[in-house]
Amino acid sequence: MKVRSQRALRQLRKWRAYVLVVVGAYGLTLALGALLGPLRGNLENLVFDQYQRWKPRPYDFSEPVRIVDIDDESIRRIGKWPWSRRTMADLVEALAKAEVAAIGFDFLFSEEDRPSGDRAACAPGAGRSADAASRCAQGVDGDAAFAQAILGRPVVLGVFLTPTPNGARASLATKAGFSFVGDPPTDLVAGFNGVLAPIPELTDASAGLGFLNWLPDNDRVVRRVPLLLDVDAQIEPSLALEAVRVAQGASGYVVKSTTAYGSTAGKSEVVDSIKDGDVIVPVQADGQLRVWFAPSDPRRSIPAWKALAPGADLSDLAGKIVLVGVSASLLSDIVATPLDPSTPGVEAHAQLIEQILSGVTLQRPDWAPGAELLAGAALSLALAALLPFLSIAATAAVGLLAAAAVAFVSWSAFTRHGALIDPVTPSLTFGFVGLAGVGQLYGQKRQQVNEIRSAFGRYVSPAVVARLAEHPERLRLGGEKRDLTVMFCDIRSFTTLSEGFTAAELTTFLNAYLSPMTDIILGQQGTVDKYMGDAIMAFWNAPLDDAAHAIHGVRAALEMRAALARLNISWRERADTAGRAFWPVKFGIGLNTGECSVGNMGSHQRFDYSALGDEVNVASRLEGSSKQFGVDVVASAATRDAAPEFAWLEIDRVKLKNKTQAVRLHALAGGTDFAESAPFRRLCARHEEMLAAYRARRFAAAREIADAAAALAPAEVCGLYAYNAKRFAALAAEPPPESWAPMIALDEK
């Protein structure tokens, strides 16, 4: 009784130490996660960026967003930057005549136009529209011309918000109204104190004003784009949001704010969505939108010089939102995105509008951090509970499986719902806990192994002790019923062949033959059951599940056929070099599919993983029958039906020796490519014609067709027609009784 109490106490101490280590590791993980928050955020961004590279948002050319691109060629043709406001007015006139839905400018007009630019735009010979020529004739300055062009038209100008006033206006009257469901989000969105805005003349004439600010992450990559920002307690919309509003002719926005997930606070804590006309945009808690970028597509843009060309056909821009921006290399309006470190800013704005209109969006749900924390805790608890019962290899496998499951859930959430669920935090959490648990259990595990060695080392070999200590469950006898595809492969006339070898040469020959055959079987997910001299027994669908086991078995047979042909070439070359005769090596293969008993078979002292059953015997009989039929691969109807895509030729209904029921057998003529070829279709037609004549008792005709089919058959099955021709000749010479049924009865194994 005292001994039992001591053992129980010792076990209790071990478990207590283990629990303390695991709990301490989990607590340390949480503390490190809080201290290294920016690093964790960078890891999240790396994962989510990779998701976008694997599955970018598909670009749909029908999306109503286009770019008028001030590229290098446009600078060369029109003139150096900045262009005259008269040129901008001409561009607005051209787009307005095309009946675009809205025009957004991705740059500032915060300074007055340069007079030199006006003179250049009105110089003699300059290509101008009639309206532009009229303005030049009247002496209207560039700013006035531009203001006149945008007045009453759906034009959105850009503003830039600054952290300090710096002499700029600290507020800006928006062109749109704001309504709020919940509290106004002035405390929830990023705040600024200053505004760089277009000159008043242009501001007053425009239909909308939207900020151009990006808020990149600390690595300068734009992943989240603000749709709302605060300027001295006044909410301002982004250029993309304003362009969508103006295009719809809407008067304002409805901003919905609410409490955070699971919170009981009495005030709004997160921005939920923005209603922009008829479009509802779900956003993150701080009013930003996580952009799901699409690959760059040249169809999205039209060069500015083409849009400004007199008589340019811009009809395909009708009804679309057109953004005017620059991609010219010297103007440096570039942002880094997860897909491209040098994306023109105007393209990023365009993609943002595409995403708003399509409703395809990425979301980082406000419940995600809590769910990730809970997942890490649950996985850590599960792993901690399993660790005492697993080996180190199994623990690693469980950890990898759990990490793969977390990654799969995260990837599925991204691809199916556009939800960003971090797989890194849970994986690192349970990984760290697992390492700590393994470290604590390692000493205990070694102690348990030593105890097993001490208890059993006197009675069994050290190798058995090691297996018992690591995997005692593997030493149990027993089997299970499973559908298997079984293969028997045997060299023909091996006894005669081996007479020409010494013992050493025979060993070398068998190794050279069995090694590639074994590699092929294993490469096709098969299990080599045993070697019987030159014979191989293998099967598929055990111990691992293999839904395509018959297909893999047939592929292995085809590859083994090709490998034997290569070996024969090599052996012939060696025989010729040595000046000795060479006899080609041939084999026979039998394939059968059916239910077998598979598992550890033998005695308590010695056993092997093997398969037993009648279907195994049938496969062995089929291998033996291949020589009689003149082919190298024979399969049962069950195998053929499970792998019908290969080139099969029916042999006949065959009653194998010591069997009462006939089975339908097939010869393997080739692979899937040959099965779909015209030569095989011609061969099949003659083959079916031959069988039809044979079964109709027209044996002489069947023999003639067999001779004709032999000319069409590949070498691997040509012997089948010689066998049939001989058999049909015998039946024609001595017709069977009327009770005869088409069938072959074999008297050999």
According to DSSP, the residues that pair with 323 across neighbouring strands are: 67, 104
Task: Give the tokens for residue 639.
Answer: 């195998």
- Residue 364 · residue 345 · CB < 8 Å: no
For residues 701-730, give the mean pLDDT.
94
Give residue 613's region: left, alpha or beta (phi > 0; psi -120 to 50): left
Most confident option among 46-60, 223-237, 545-559: 545-559
What angle is formed at CA 437 by the lines to CA 432 and CA 442, rounded to 5 degrees? 130
For residues 618-632, give the mean pLDDT.
94
- Residue 117 · residue 142 · CB < 8 Å: yes
For residues 112-118, give the mean pLDDT.
62
For residues 652-671, give the mean pLDDT.
91
In sequence order, what are the residues at sequence separation of 6 or more whose Cβ sits closer than 8 angstroms to the Cβ of residue 74? 303, 304, 305, 328
How far apart are the C-alpha atoms of 553 and 535, rounded to whole Å?
A: 16
Tell me the C-alpha to C-alpha distance, in Å, between residue 669 and each of 248, 672, 720, 721, 749.
68, 10, 10, 12, 23
Identify which has the larger pLDDT, 727 or 31. 727
pTM of the model: 0.54
How far apart are the C-alpha atoms of 673 and 645, rounded to whole Å?
A: 9
Work out the pLDDT band at 435, boundaries 50, 70, 90. low
* pLDDT value of residue 432: 64
Q: What is the pLDDT of residues 352-397, one digit of tens each?
A: 999 999 888 888 877 777 777 777 777 667 666 666 666 667 777 8
How far apart are the C-alpha atoms of 587 and 589, rounded to whole Å?
A: 7
How far apart are the C-alpha atoms of 598 and 591, rounded to whole Å?
A: 17
Q: Find the range with the poorest average confidence among 40-44, 552-556, 742-746.
A: 40-44
Please provide the average confidence, as pLDDT, over all residues in the chain.
83
Task: Give the tokens for residue 421.
Answer: 């669920």
Percentage, residues of the chain above pLDDT 70:
79
Q: Is the pLDDT of residue 466 over 80?
A: no
Q: What is the pLDDT of residues 126-145, one digit of tens each?
A: 444 555 555 554 445 789 99
Q: Is the pLDDT of residue 40 over 70?
A: no
* pLDDT value of residue 456: 39
How far apart are the C-alpha atoms of 589 and 556, rounded to whole Å?
A: 10
Between strands 208-211 and 288-290, the pairing is unpaired
* pLDDT value of residue 170: 53
- Residue 208 · residue 239 · CB < 8 Å: no
* pLDDT value of residue 727: 94
Q: What is the pLDDT of residues 512-565, one digit of tens each?
A: 999 999 999 988 988 888 888 889 999 998 877 889 999 999 999 999 999 999
For residues 738-744, give the mean pLDDT.
88
* pLDDT value of residue 26: 60
How far apart are the C-alpha atoms of 216 and 229, rounded to whole Å?
A: 14
Nearest to 142 by CA among 108, 113, 111: 113
* pLDDT value of residue 363: 82
CB burial class (10 A; 0-12, 13-18, 19+) of residue 200? exposed
Q: What DSSP character marks residue 362?
A: B
How far apart are the C-alpha atoms of 404 and 391, rounded to whole Å?
A: 19
* pLDDT value of residue 472: 46
Identify which has the larger pLDDT, 191 or 487. 487
For residues 612-635, give the mean pLDDT.
94
Q: Is the pLDDT of residue 638 over 70?
A: yes
Identify which has the larger pLDDT, 24 or 631. 631
Architecture of domain 477-644: 2-Layer Sandwich (3.30)
Identify which has the larger pLDDT, 21 or 266. 266
* pLDDT value of residue 130: 54
Total residues belonging to the chain: 749
- Residue 86 · residue 136 · CB < 8 Å: yes
Q: Is the pLDDT of residue 471 over 70?
A: no
- Residue 475 · residue 602 · CB < 8 Å: no
For residues 273-300, give the mean pLDDT.
90
* pLDDT value of residue 165: 66
Amino acid identity of 204?
Answer: D
Work out the pLDDT band at 6, boundaries 50, 70, 90. very low
* pLDDT value of residue 427: 73
Q: Find the range with the poorest average confidence among 308-317, 355-364, 597-606, 664-673.
A: 597-606
* pLDDT value of residue 684: 95
Work out the pLDDT band at 613, boundaries 50, 70, 90. very high
Listed by start position, the domains of the chain span 2-53+365-448, 65-358, 477-644
For residues 567-596, give the mean pLDDT.
91
Nearest to 231 by CA among 158, 165, 285: 165
Most confident option among 160-169, 439-448, 538-547, 618-627: 618-627
* pLDDT value of residue 402: 82
Q: Is the pLDDT of residue 30 over 90?
A: no
Work out the pLDDT band at 439, boundaries 50, 70, 90. low
